[in-house]
A and B are shown apart, each in its own frame.
Chain A
Amino acid sequence: MSKKYILGVFDDEATLVDAFEKLKDKGVMPVEVYTPYPVHEILEGMPIKTRITHAAFFYGLFAALGILGFLTYAASISWPLHYGGKPFNAFPSFIVVTIVATILSITLLTLFTFSARAKVFPGKKAEIFHERATDDKFVMVFDEAGIANDSESVKSILTEHGKIE
């Protein structure tokens, strides 16, 4: 890595959030924060957002329409066939398959979206800044060049609650 990074390492959620909020008030944002479990203050505070739930809604909408359309087409246009005197377009009995297959489509498509957007996929090599970020440490990563102006104050806030590595 050509860039230089400063790592702020914290022992628990409270100190991390505290430091994060103080830095945020100063207008300094970490490049990335690594935590062993999701910390909501960080997720809300970081300048990132996700539209995965919206994507899931549209997957569901299009999947439901597509599947229902396919069943109707197959059973009443492509090859109409009488089953026990039921109408060709047996809408109520198509609902069952539509619901389940829609859920399957939403799940798979959302998983792929997650995999693509969060860049979590088989064969990826993890870029590990701090070995214990998945175990018991909470790590904030700063780009040294980005905080050159107020690196002293950043460092002092970091050391107040955690330590610098």
Chain B
Amino acid sequence: MYNSAVRGKLIDGDKSFSQISKEILAPIHAKTPLWWYAAMLVSLGMFGFGLYCKYITVSTGIGTWGVNNSVAWGWAIINFVWWIGIGHAGTAFSIFLLILRQKWRTAINRAAEAMTVVAVFCASLFPLLHMGRPWLFFFIFPYPNTRGPLWVNFNSPLFWDFVAISAYLLISASFWYFGMVPDFATIRDTAKSKIKKAVYGFFAFGWTGSSREWLRFEGLSFVLGGIAAVLVVSVHSIVSTDFAVSVQAGWHTTIFPPYFVIGAIFSGFAMVLTLVITMRGLYNMNDFITDRHVDAVCRILIFISLIMGTAYMTEIFIAWYSASEYETYMFFKNRLFGDYAFQFWAMFTANAVIPQLFWFKAVRKRMWIVFIISIIINIGMWFERFNIVVTTLSRDYLPAAWANYSPTYVEIGFFVGTLGMFLAGVLLFFRYIPMIAISELKSVAKFDKPNNGQLKAKSHE
């Protein structure tokens, strides 16, 4: 089949098929470790605080946030874009590598997709609460209504965004779930306890692994993979049109869609790295997620970081080249040296400079450094969104309307709440779902074993 001299073995330790199932399923069958409960408690605490802040937001109103007339999009949009960006990489990771036939994706794609689903869920809370009256959110559905115009405004990027996010949530969740069906069947057939057999048996949807199922399963993943690749690119392009379609200095640029898509993949890959290094550390998955996997993701990050740097430079260059007074002011006075200069330089350093350390092999093979850099990238990407949203809004065309922005504790609590939700989701994933796609991993287990091919060749002679 696909033989490549570039990549060596994908799994260390010369494991048999049943060993693979056993080792990946070990955390599900083992007793829940104590740290898991502790971590769950912390994340639920964060989640609870977030709920409290949401309660304040809904019962008192958006006035409890730091947003004002000028900076009407503050924390909520920053974090919405940040979470969506993280969510993007999960799909980007498994889809693009699936299309490119990169076999090493098999060890990581499940975690990446799980991250996607939870992150998109976190993201969708922000616009919902930012509506002010979230119980009326259904106003955005395109059904004939009696509130004035019969239909919603199909030309509005905010409506596009709604369509994109809800489609993305549904599609990434179903893609993730159907990938897991064969693994749930494996749990059903290997589990000892009756309850586990019944529960996972239900979720396995009666999967048996017959050739009729596999044939259609392959067709399904081919179709979903192909169209979800389009989706990944289009959804974050749509998020960028929320900004780019407006006529604000610093937003109204054609670079926005590719810039946002690349930025999203960048932050998401960094989060994937954070997640898989955690998995390696906590569950001894080093044989499956080998150093070579981490190395490959690091190399991709160097490349994307260079694109990010180029995008930042391009924005600044075009601001000068356009000779637009407002654009020049926005970049050269406001972003680079204005009130939010710290956020700009933090973004630039964390996204375009620090990831360049991955050029060094010594850095790539030290997991704790990789881990720290992956977190720095995520912080940098957060600053990027802050920089885009706040600098532009705080310095409008009308100096009388200039205003600064800083979040209140309610907004921060809301964000902390989504972090808690994300952590809780990831912990549940660690505990109850096979962290690595078992059936896909088995298909590459003999990837480096030529005897598999030889036996076949003999039979044809």
Q: Decide if A117 is an interface residue (CB 8 Å cutoff).
A: yes
Q: Decide if A33 is an interface residue (CB 8 Å cutoff).
A: yes
Residue from A14, A56, A123 in contact with B455 in the complex, judged by beta carbons closer than 8 Å: A14
B453 to chain A: closest residue by CB: A14
Which residues of A are found within 8 Å of B159, using beta-carbon distances? 97
Query: How far apart are the CA atoms of A36 and B309 in the complex, in Å?
Result: 44
Contact A53-B222, Cβ < 8 Å, known A18-B459, A124-B206: yes
1/0 per residue A109-145: CB within 8 Å of B? 0110011011111111111110111111000000000
Residue from A37, A101, A126, A136 in contact with B18 in the complex, judged by beta carbons closer than 8 Å: A136
**Are A122's CB and B205's CB within 8 A?**
yes
Q: B interface, how many residues as a size bin?
A: 35 or more
Q: Decide if B210 is an interface residue (CB 8 Å cutoff).
A: yes
B residues 180-196 in Cβ contact with A at 8 Å: 181-182, 185-186, 188-190
Interface centre among B18, B211, B452, by most chain A C-beta atoms within 10 angstroms, is B211
**Are A21's CB and B459's CB within 8 A?**
yes
Which residues of B are found within 8 Å of A32, using beta-carbon distances? 210-212
Residue from B174, B207, B235 in contact with A111 in the complex, judged by beta carbons closer than 8 Å: B174
Residue from A39, A50, A79 in contact with B216 in the complex, judged by beta carbons closer than 8 Å: A50
Which residues of B are found within 8 Å of A74, using beta-carbon distances? 142, 150-151, 154
B175 to chain A: closest residue by CB: A107
**Are A124's CB and B205's CB within 8 A?**
yes
- Nearest Cβ on chain B to A157's Cβ, whole angstroms: 11
**Are B455's CB and A18's CB within 8 A?**
yes
**Are A17's CB and B456's CB within 8 A?**
yes
Main secondary structure of the interface of B (DSSP, over half): helix
**Are B189's CB and A135's CB within 8 A?**
yes
Residue from A103, A104, A114 in contact with B220 in the complex, judged by beta carbons closer than 8 Å: A114
**Are A38's CB and B151's CB within 8 A?**
no
**Are A43's CB and B214's CB within 8 A?**
yes
**Are A100's CB and B181's CB within 8 A?**
no
Which residues of A are found within 8 Å of B34, using beta-carbon distances? none
- Nearest Cβ on chain B to A155's Cβ, whole angstroms: 18
Which residues of B are found within 8 Å of A148, using beta-carbon distances? none
- Nearest Cβ on chain A to B428's Cβ, whole angstroms: 20
Instruction: Count residues of chain A with CB under 8 A from any CB of chain B.
Output: 72
**Are A43's CB and B209's CB within 8 A?**
no
- Nearest Cβ on chain A to B440's Cβ, whole angstroms: 7
Query: How far apart are the CA atoms of A32 and B442 in the complex, in Å?
Result: 20
**Are A121's CB and B206's CB within 8 A?**
yes
Which residues of A are found within 8 Å of B228, using beta-carbon distances? 103, 107
**Are A103's CB and B154's CB within 8 A?**
no
B residues 215-262 in Cβ contact with A at 8 Å: 215-220, 222-224, 227-228, 230-231, 234-235, 238, 241
**Are B155's CB and A93's CB within 8 A?**
yes
1/0 per residue A7-48: CB within 8 Å of B? 000001111011001100000000011111111111100101
Q: Decide if A6 is an interface residue (CB 8 Å cutoff).
A: no
**Are B186's CB and A134's CB within 8 A?**
yes
Which residues of B are found within 8 Å of A50, using beta-carbon distances? 215-216, 219
Q: Decide if B149 is an interface residue (CB 8 Å cutoff).
A: yes
Which residues of A are found within 8 Å of B21, using beta-carbon distances? 135-136
B residues 147-205 in Cβ contact with A at 8 Å: 149-151, 153-156, 159-160, 163-164, 167, 170-171, 174-175, 178, 181-182, 185-186, 188-190, 201-202, 204-205
Write the residues of chain A forming the contact surface with B, with a CB cutoff of 8 angstroms: 12-15, 17-18, 21-22, 32-43, 46, 48-50, 52-53, 56, 60, 71, 74-75, 78-79, 81, 83, 86, 90, 93-94, 96-97, 99-101, 103-104, 106-108, 110-111, 114-115, 117-129, 131-136
Known interface pairs A71-B154, A79-B151, A127-B208; 7 further A-B residue pairs with C-beta atoms within 8 A, sorted by A's residue number: A35-B209, A37-B442, A43-B211, A74-B154, A97-B154, A118-B213, A134-B190
Write the residues of chain B forming the contact surface with A, with a CB cutoff of 8 angstroms: 1, 16-18, 21, 142, 144, 149-151, 153-156, 159-160, 163-164, 167, 170-171, 174-175, 178, 181-182, 185-186, 188-190, 201-202, 204-220, 222-224, 227-228, 230-231, 234-235, 238, 241, 439-440, 442-443, 446, 451-453, 455-456, 458-460
- What are some 6 contacts across the A-B interface (CB < 8 A)? A33-B211, A48-B211, A100-B235, A114-B216, A124-B206, A127-B208
